[in-house]
Structure 1
Amino acid sequence: MKKDLIRLIPMIRRFAFSLTGNQHDADDLLQNTVERLLDKGVPDDVMLEKWMFKVCRNIWIDEYRARKVRQNAVFSEVLTEYQIVDGEAEQTSQISLNELNQAMDILPDEQRSIISLVALQGFSYKDVAETLAIPVGTVMSRLARARVSLHKLIRHDQSKGELA
């Protein structure tokens, strides 16, 4: 299993990057995925490759939800009522990402994960359906919607750049 796991790491790393949008978080997600697989193992009746993608996606969803809860707590009046605000700490930095990453970030989670598996990993629709435990028709419709959305978002960004 360890040899197969090592062989699959680059694929899972690319998938993790497509979900998170940055290399640091992708590496953390990859590490968590590998740790979970080494700790819990893989069911006997499941292909390691499909199981890794499923575990990676589930960990990312859990982390994404937890991050949203923490962010909402930061803006809670009860928790911020007595905080001292430092002017420098309030300054935000903007990270310039390429158009595709920005557009991918806007996509709904289910579309982003499907387009990542199909376009970046080269999975067949059937493999994606099995990995995510959804019907093949759902994979096809979500992928079609994701492609249309990406096209519109990228064209919109390009037209804004031309006008400026």
Structure 2
Amino acid sequence: MPVAYPTVPAYSQSKRSKQSSDRVARSDAEATIANEQEIRAGLSQHLTRLWRYAVVLSHQRDVADDLVQATCVRALERANQFAHGTRLDRWLFSILHSIWLNEVRSRRVRMGQGFVDADETLVFDGQRDTETHVFANQVLRQVQALPEAQRTVVFLAYVEELSYREVADLLDIPIGTVMSRLAAARAKLAASAGPGRQEGSAQ
């Protein structure tokens, strides 16, 4: 005797599919909201560091301010792309670097705008906090004359203390390139220090 199998109406399958899609959409929306809250809470903690990196890249305070502002906006716009539990500061640095490379720097090159020198960059208006001022005097003056590629890896590796792998991932370059740029930067800094200072440091 043939067995009759119950049929499942098509609308029932469609309903279940819609309910599943709605649950996924709600879950994604909730995750995005949670990410936005985490990003907003973390942005204020990293603003000074972002500004430092923007100065290292651009050499100009007004451009650095614009870069940081654009980074904050972009981070909130792409909150759904932030992986909860990962390092927010690393993610923000990568956004800032991308904006600089693909938008700000390329636009400045097209417009024929050059960079200002270190002394002008480091004239502060008195509103920067002490930590930023100390950073500028102790670090920026030493790396400002380096080519941009070397300046960037020096800042990320020695100031922000990222690992070589983290620097490579952030800049999207091979780790060997990071190491060679650091070696070249160290050689330039040692040469610019002068014989007297090198002898003194060796003692």
Contact 1:103 1:153 (8 Å CA) reproduced: no
Q: How many residues align?
A: 137
Name segments (4+ residues, structure 1) moved above 3 Å.
Answer: 44-47, 93-106, 153-156
| Residue identity in the other structure for 1:66 | R
**Structure 1 gaps, min length 5:** 73-92, 159-164
Contact 1:15 1:121 (8 Å CA) reproduced: no
Which of the numbers 18, 24, 34 marks the counterpart of 2:62?
Answer: 24
Bigger relative contact order, structure 1 or 2 (CA pairs below 8 A, ≥6 apart) = 1
Structure 2 partner of 1:88: none
Structure 1 partner of 2:42: 4
Cα deviation code 1:99-140 (max 9, x no counterpart): 975764443322121111112212222221222222322211
Structure 1 partner of 2:132: none
Structure 2 partner of 1:63: 104
Aligned residues with identical type, % of pairs: 30
**Structure 2 gaps, min length 5:** 1-37, 123-136, 198-203
Counterparts in 2 of 1:94 and 1:30: CA distance versus 1, 3 Å: closer
Which of the numbers 76, 80, 96 marks the counterpart of 2:119?
Answer: 96
Cα deviation code 1:18-67 (max 9, x no counterpart): 11223222112111111111122252446322121111112122311211
Which of the numbers 146, 153, 158 marks the counterpart of 1:107?
Answer: 146
Give me the CA root mean square deviation.
3.0
Which of 1 and 2 has greater Rg?
A: 2
